[in-house]
Structure 1
Amino acid sequence: MKALVELFWFKYSQLQHAVKIGNEKLISMLDREIEPALTAVLQKEASDVSELRSQFQFVVDLLREESEDRACVLRQAHNLKLLLDRYFGTDEAARPFGLNQPDGARPAAAPRIVEDGLLNEAILDSLPDRVAVITTDYRYLYSNPLNAERFSEKPIDLVGRHVVEFIGVQRFESRVKRHLDRCFAGEVVEYDYISSRRGNAMTRCRMTPCMSAAGNVLGAILVLQEMLESRDPMAA
């Protein structure tokens, strides 16, 4: 994965230089080479968590690099969705970029949110609760619109960013990190906390390990539900 990513950025930088100096012949040649390089990165099936992170980070970096070009942003956002569908979606959606599984191949099992709910973007987006997927390096891999709205962000703008940016170092170190670490170790974690953003309303957070088809923990699925009942903020 690393070699494919580095090859793409090498060609990308060459193309940017060719555009800058106005070398039409070089631009034409690199245009033909850069698309296969991009496809190679996106079609590569991640073999471990490190490669998975690299693949998602690659798309996020490309989104930022092309942020001023709306057409490119929409395309890379689509590519990000395809990656989400491949690794966390339903079996039917898990074949992006025109790839087909060989006959008789066992489809990868999609990780579950709770009970029978599959980790599928369409399902997550429609849930009445806030939902996020956090990687093992404490960065957002996914956020549904309701969760992103809480931070006055769009879901795509949270991807790749560290949770500390949104909850602060003190809350992260004193509570959230230890719960995430327990979840990364394979434990389902559930706890309540007081949300100062919501007028000291009680929120319940449930963390479920997000597993790959091979049984490796890719991160944690967070479902945050606001509780109707109030509780003494000083209570344990």
Structure 2
Amino acid sequence: MLGLFEAFSTKCLQLQQAVSAGHDELVRALDRELDPLIGIILSYKAQNAYEMHMQMQFLAALIREDADDPSSVLRHSAAMSMLIDRYFADSTMQAEDARPAIVETRVKQQVYPDMLFSEVVLDLLPDRVVVITTDCRFLYANKRYSKYFNRTPLSLIGSSISELVGSEYFEMKIKPRLDRCFEGESLDYTHEPWGQGERMARYRMTPLRCADHRIAGAIVVMQDLHEA
């Protein structure tokens, strides 16, 4: 499933670059390729709670992206209803239409109470906020973080951190701290500028825990010090 998100992220980035360059024909071509890819992502049957949450996050991001288009919102809302029916239907449903082979109560415990953050609230924060999975991919990025890298929240879901900041910098500066966070440590440190235009920032990393106390990822909050 990660391959699908990576493909979508790549298409979004290509589309953004084509729009910036004024290549109208390429924009139309890339735009036509997105809908089938979205359909493939939403038709995929998640095999575990992690994949299911990725799908839900992806669709929620689509709804936010197209908030100004009522027809798109209705279409995405219908897709959300489809996902809910697929994964949380009564056990009386036929096997081919039932949710993945995950105990329903466990899914609810792992996905909804675990993600102790509200996307609406996080999008309003002045800080940059991301949620990172244990394989160092974006599960969530608020609008401020996405704008900082000239991306959209939707295009970041499922992509790896190293793709965004470069593998060398990721391995040297980010991964060691994330590994400590994934071991259960909360970190609070000052981040030094790593490139042109980068600002001094305070980074706070907090483990994201499941109901069974298993660590599912990390919540990272970045505060520009000149704005503190």
| TM-score normalised by the chain length of structure 1 | 0.54
For 1:4-63, what per-residue CA distance to the aligned partner results, in whole angstroms no more than 9, with x for missing partners? xxxxxxxxxxxxxxxxxxxxxxxxxxxxxx9xx94x936x7x45xxxx147627986xx9
Report the aligned-residue RMSD.
4.3
Which residue matches 1:214? 212
Task: Find out whether 1:160 has 2:142 as its counterpart.
Answer: no
For 1:195-232, what per-residue CA distance to the aligned partner results, in whole angstroms no more than 9, with x for missing partners? 34564521111111111122211111110000028xxx
In structure 2, the CA distance between the partners of 1:170 and 1:75, relative to structure 1 (3 Å rule), is farther
Q: 2: distance between equivalents of 1:158 and 1:135?
A: 13
In structure 2, the CA distance between the partners of 1:121 and 1:55, relative to structure 1 (3 Å rule), is closer
For 1:119-161, what per-residue CA distance to the aligned partner results, in whole angstroms no more than 9, with x for missing partners? 1111111111000011111110000000000111110000010
- 1:88-167 pair list within 5 angstroms: 96-97=84-85, 99=88, 108=109, 110-111=113-114, 118-167=116-165
Q: 2: distance between equivalents of 1:141 and 1:183?
A: 16
- Paired amino acid for 1:155: P
Which residue matches 1:227? 225
In structure 2, the CA distance between the partners of 1:54 and 1:194, relative to structure 1 (3 Å rule), is same
Native 8 Å contact 2:203 2:223 kept in 1: yes
Deviation of the 1:170 alpha carbon: 1.5
- Paired amino acid for 2:126: P
Which residues of structure 2 form unaligned runs of 5+? 2-38, 62-68, 91-104
Deviation of the 1:173 alpha carbon: 0.7
Match of 2:45 among 41, 47, 51: 41
Q: 2: distance between equivalents of 1:216 and 1:186?
A: 9
Which residues of structure 1 form unaligned runs of 5+? 2-33, 64-69, 84-95, 113-117, 230-236
Deviation of the 1:75 alpha carbon: 5.0
Of all paired residues, the percent bearing the same amino acid is 35
In structure 2, the CA distance between the partners of 1:227 and 1:55, relative to structure 1 (3 Å rule), is closer
In structure 2, the CA distance between the partners of 1:182 and 1:145, relative to structure 1 (3 Å rule), is same
Count of matched residue positions in the alignment of Structure 1 and Structure 2: 162
- Bigger RCO of structures 1 and 2 (CA < 8 A, at least 6 apart): 2
| TM-score normalised by the chain length of structure 2 | 0.56
